[in-house]
Structure 1
């Protein structure tokens, strides 16, 4: 929404430039959110990012050989978005394809993003607090006591129903190797509903995590609502495709303001302002919004 139109994006005054904002799916959700007591989580920060999506990833070969290999630091432009680029291995992708027919590119910059945020909070980027690369699996995620964490951060691909055959709900893509039992490497909306959390905030640094189905009397049934149901007071989600290089800067700025004592809504507004100065198009700086307690 525009408060005062300018000659270009950079000169235009938007609502979020003037006021801090948070969203609620419905009056019912707003009332329920206000019933939350402060988080009693004893640990500060958990994160998952830069998973291995395919066994052909050189990181997986290195892991199997007992070596360490990272692809962090490659050209960020090579991996532009966090979820929208579905490349068929052969032929042309239709509306829905099987997982074996698609390739989600690796996101090395998400590892840089998470390591920097972990450093801000004095958290070592290692198990169980941080799951990166081959370790960023659904099995490892389920072995973490997520209820112990105040902030949870996911930086990976996410997508909507219909993108992959057999998945009929929004999903976050975790590691596709080294899972056990029934773990398939997808964290779906219904699986999030079953989590037990005591988080102050969950951040989904992935594509289109704020989209969902409109439900009468409930508003949008999206990942924000699912994480709130699981025990989260606030959730940061995206409204559309996330430009990955800008998102790294966005999240570093956002968490630095959180660390300095700003409220979540204030931190998001300040991060938007900084990203807008470098990337004036709203596509880059307006992508993330805050649901819940601000």
Structure 2
């Protein structure tokens, strides 16, 4: 029978999550400076959060190998793997696998009617010079999207790994990594690997034509791609556009960019953003990022993820944990900071 575990007032948990996020932001802004002090402060904040949301459940989860989670509110942006254990370890090293769900409905989602087939479509290093000069939001107009040359190499490397296992891949790089090409080629693919900038806008846009942004959160998040092409796209693929794509053949979408897991929280609906949009379009599982991750570190994480997935047959959640703990162990062996900012940014969701 179901058991209820009261965790206390949501305001208290929100405050603990905020403190946890502040420690992530502190390490991001310090770029390795004060590493030991930042890691100690993180462990203190992470411990308080773990004691509030995880420890009360542990006695009921003895020998559990996988825990399915459908968090609400601020907890939707927490990677449980990053919560500290003892003086040096993390749940990623000692705890069960955490299967993140968008909502409880994922547990009753019907299985695919037929075995999914298709190849891999990898996209990287779009040409941001072709973006529309004026977008739907002043906040987005002010943003600058620096080139991502490393993402082009990442897309090629992922394609080679896929081909080495006997699969077929297509790689869209540079000017070819366009919004129009993605819309045309994504349907029918088994895996989409999209290495580019993501964006999430707050609701502070003030233009009259932006009124829809306040009521439709799927217009406030998206991916930045090459614009133009035969359909004269603006290069900004919003989550709303994603949700309309026919992706029923897609097993996995990997969003290899900053902040791609963010979205607008709505009670009972989870986060409405890119992650939810790809699943609404038909994709079974999505890998996305909770915070900005270094370009080189992202490439390394992705290669480890696909090696675990393709060469060792790991499931998506296990492959994500393998990639994260490999980076954690490498940093520990090199006497570098093991702060989760460097290894815990990517999460897998769906079922």
Common topology (TM > 0.5)? yes
Q: 1:175 to 1:269 in 2, by over 3 A?
A: same
Q: Which has the higher contact order (CA 8 A, sep 6+)?
A: 1
Post-superposition shift, 1:103?
Answer: 2.9
Q: What corresponds to 1:285 in structure 2? A: 343
Find the residue that maps to 1:148 and give its secondary structure.
coil
1:237 aligns with 2:288: yes
Matched, 1:18 2:95: yes
Is the Cα contact below 8 Å between 1:39 and 1:199 reproduced in 2? no
Q: What root-mean-square deviation, in Å, do the aligned CA atoms of Structure 1 and Structure 2 show?
A: 2.6
Distance across 2 between alignment mates of 1:128 and 1:184: 26
Structure 2 residue aligned with 1:226: 277
Contact 1:227–1:235 at 8 Å: present in 2 too?
yes
Structure 1 residue 208, shift from structure 2 partner: 1.0
Shift of the 31–196 alpha-carbon distance from structure 1 to 2, 3 Å rule, reads same
Q: Say if 2:89 is the partner of 1:31.
A: no
1:267 to 284, 297, 319: 319
1:188 to 1:16, Cα distance in 2 relative to 1, 3 A: farther
TM-score (norm. length: structure 2): 0.63
**1:195 CA drift (Å):** 0.5
Q: Does structure 2 conserve the Cα–Cα contact (< 8 Å) formed by 1:36 and 1:233? A: no
1:254 shift after superposition: 0.1
Matches within 5 A, 1:158-197: 158-162=198-202, 168-176=219-227, 178-197=228-247
Instruction: Write out per-residue CA displacement over residues 239-285 of structure 1, whole angstroms, 9 at most, x where no aligned residue.
Output: 11122111000000000011121111111111011111234220121
- 1:44 pairs, out of 119, 123, 131, with 119
- Normalized per residue, which structure has more helix? 2
Measured after TM superposition, the shift of residue 185 of structure 1 is 0.5
Shift of the alpha carbon at 1:25? Answer: 2.2
Give the unaligned 5+ runs of structure 2: 1-49, 51-82, 132-136, 214-218, 332-337
CA distance in 1, matches of 2:291, 2:229: 29
Count the aligned residue pairs. 243
With over 3 angstroms needed to count, the CA separation of the structure-2 counterparts of 1:16 and 1:149, relative to structure 1, is farther
**1:140 and 2:181 correspond:** yes
Contact in 2 for aligned 1:39/1:150 (Cα 8 Å): no
2:195 corresponds to which residue?
A: 155
**SS where residue 245 of structure 1 aligns?**
helix
Corresponding residue SS for 1:149: coil
Provide the secondary structure at the position in 2 that maps to 1:147: coil
